[in-house]
Amino acid sequence: MLDYRDGFRREAHPSFFSLEEMMNLRGRRDVSVEYDIAQICMNGHVVNRGMRQMPGANQNCCSKCGAPTIHKCQQCQADINGNRLMSGPGGSLITFDQPAYCPKCGTAYPWIVSKIEVAKLLIQETDGLEDAEKEKLAGSIDDLVKESPRTQLAATRLKKAAGKIGVEGLKVLKDTISDIVSNTVKELLWPTK
Ligand SMILES: [Zn+2]
Ligand SMILES: [Zn+2]
């Protein structure tokens, strides 16, 4: 079993692992995967990625925005996944992705719920779209976030609407949506290549 400090040191220097080494770790069966518990504020600021390993960093309220912090799904009480420690014969790796949905019951975490709401409100505020278009587009936001078979359709809708929304409105909307969708969806919406 790997010493935590070792993992911490490696996290602080991600370049310690080559991409090849990381892929080797992922594909192997003799690799164990363990999650710590994350403490995150209601607005989505990550307060502590590893409550077990770093209990001293726990906070009842967020130091950035003052909102209360949670570390369990409010629907099913399952722990929120924090640092992921993958360890095996080839070494170990600590990674962290802020989760959007509870892996146990599928409920969206509060920070996702409120960002979806904000994105929908922003759409209502934009100039250049008919009310019916706004409705349709607001309805597409859920599909963009969830990555379902309807994601492609939702992306097409947003791209069509983008042509009609003013530059200012589009920038704000893009920032908000970028925060809540995956890289795959971002690439669909705003291809970089
Ligand atoms: Zn906060
Ligand atoms: Zn849950």
CA distances from 30 to 34, 49, 88 (A): 13, 25, 6
Identify whether the C-beta of residue 150 lies closer than 8 Å to the C-beta of residue 124: no
Q: How far is the CA of 69 from the centre of ligand 1 (A)?
A: 8
Three-state secondary-structure class, residue 81: strand
Kindly report, residue by residue over 78-104, the tens digit of the pLDDT.
999 999 998 877 778 899 989 989 999
**β-strand pairing of 69-70 with 46-48:** unpaired
The structural domains of the chain, with segments of one domain joined by +, span 4-95, 110-189
Instruction: State the ligand closest to the CA atom of 103.
Output: 2
Distance 109 CA to ligand 2 centre (A): 8
- How far, in Å, CA of 125 to CA of 132, rounded? 13
Report the length, in residues, of the chain: 193
Residue 74 Cα, ligand 2 centroid: separation in angstroms? 7
Ligand 1 is an ion; its neighbours by CB within 5 Å are: 41, 43, 45, 62, 64-65, 67
Among 125, 73, 122, CA closest to 99: 73
pLDDT tens sequence across 146-174: 888 899 999 999 988 888 887 788 888 88
Structure pTM? Answer: 0.73
Q: Which ligand number lies closest to the CA of residue 104?
A: 2
